[in-house]
Amino acid sequence: MRVTSPPDIKNSNLAKGMEYPREIEHGLMFHYFHNERHPKGQGSLSQKDFANLLDFVGVHRILSPFEWLDKLASNKLEKQHLCITFDDALLCQFEIALPVLEARNLKAFWFVHSSVFEGHLGRNEIYRIFRSKYFQNVDAFYSIFFRKVSGSEFSERTEAVLEEEQIKNLLQQFPFYSVNDAKFRFMRDRALGKQNYETTMDEIILEHRLALSDLSKDLWMSNEHLSHLNQNGHVIGLHSYSHPTVLAGLSYEEQFREYEKNYLHVKEVCRRSPVAMAHPCNSYNDDTIEILKHLGIRCGFRSNMFPRAEGERANPHPFEMARQDQANIMRMMERS
């Protein structure tokens, strides 16, 4: 399995005596990494970025997944305790981030959606790679996407969902989003829906004379990667079967199928029952939590620092643990 050599720890910020930022708490959430094999995209980190980020937050604060779960169960998690989480089973995480973890003797949670391990095309990631490789920047892509949707039968529905107050609320929850990022997500999830969004994106890709199968190469890990991580002290967790962007919009039965299929896949590969998960696109409801409890899950992570109910503490219960996105931490580093 291919990996990239990590940067020299002796040159890290920690070795230079940098103090860690005490305002960073809870889980640390990572998605995208880039090098000569994996293209740079919106919010992606280089191996050096990742190493510096870990040293910036304080490696000594980072618990292993098993330590995190034990402290959560015994109500002993404190503000200084951190854990590392990766979402979406991306190969770039294994090849670029894992060597940095190994150099620091760190372990992590890896939350995977199972459909891509069974040969299905994970369109969300394919579309991300398309935006990253074939446009000068993400706003260049948005320009084409917005124009195409505005000229379609969904134009009136699109105008109805782009309410200024809702966009403002989303940007408060995810401060690393731009206004165009927020508009894109509202158009995708509320105006178009899954099927119409995929049809629109597939048309744009076809207009660029590209194939989904070609764009999907080198995107995801394999079961062998998961097995390697599991055997070396990491924890493989749930992230649904097909990674719907609005999982909370599914019925109880549909949500149950999403997580049961995900559960059975992870259990088969790791030969142990999964005990942790992360909510895809931060979408979940009371049905989701009931299903997770039924499956024996002990811990669930959100994708931001804001609980569902205003005024609740950051971690209202074990199925809504907060996470700080890599983009927010990079901003803190730039300001320090």
Domain ranges for the chain, please list them.
20-119+219-257+269-335, 132-215
Instruction: Report domain 20-119+219-257+269-335's class.
Output: alpha beta
Q: How far is 328 from 56, CA to CA, in rounded Å?
A: 13
Judged against a pLDDT cut of 90, whether residue 1 lies above it is answered with no
pLDDT at 24: 61
Element (H, E) at 140: helix 138-150
Would you place residue 310 in the very low, low, confident or very high pLDDT band (cuts 50, 70, 90)?
low
- 113 and 207 Cβ atoms separated by less than 8 Å: no
Contacts (Cβ under 8 Å, ≥6 apart) of 127:
201, 205
Q: Is the dihedral of CA 151, 155, 156, 160 positive or negative?
A: negative
Judged against a pLDDT cut of 60, whether residue 27 lies above it is answered with yes
- Decide: helix, strand or coil at residue 123: helix
Residue 3, number of CB atoms within 10 A of its CB: 12
Would you place residue 99 in the very low, low, confident or very high pLDDT band (cuts 50, 70, 90)?
very high
- Could you identify the residue written with the tokens 């230079």? 16
Judged against a pLDDT cut of 50, whether residue 305 lies above it is answered with yes
Q: What percent helix, strand, coil does the chain show, rounded to 5?
A: 50, 10, 40
- 107 and 233 Cβ atoms separated by less than 8 Å: yes
Q: How far is CA 272 from CA 181, 238, 308, in A?
A: 38, 13, 31
Q: What is the C-alpha radius of gyration for the chain, rounded to an integer number of angstroms?
A: 20
Q: Which two tokens stand for residue 3?
A: 């990996």
Over the stretch 192-250, which tens digit does the pLDDT of each residue have? 998 999 999 999 999 999 999 999 999 999 999 999 999 999 999 999 999 999 999 99
Tell the burial category of 27 from Cβ atoms under 10 Å away from its Cβ (0-12, 13-18, 19+).
Answer: buried
Phi, psi (deg, nearest 5) at residue 108: -145, 165
What does the pLDDT average to over 38-53?
Answer: 94
Contacts (Cβ under 8 Å, ≥6 apart) of 198:
123
Q: How far is CA 24 from the centre of its chain?
A: 18
pLDDT at 20: 47
What mean pLDDT, rounded, does the chain reach? 90
What is the model's pTM? 0.85
- Could you identify the residue written with the tokens 């999830």? 189
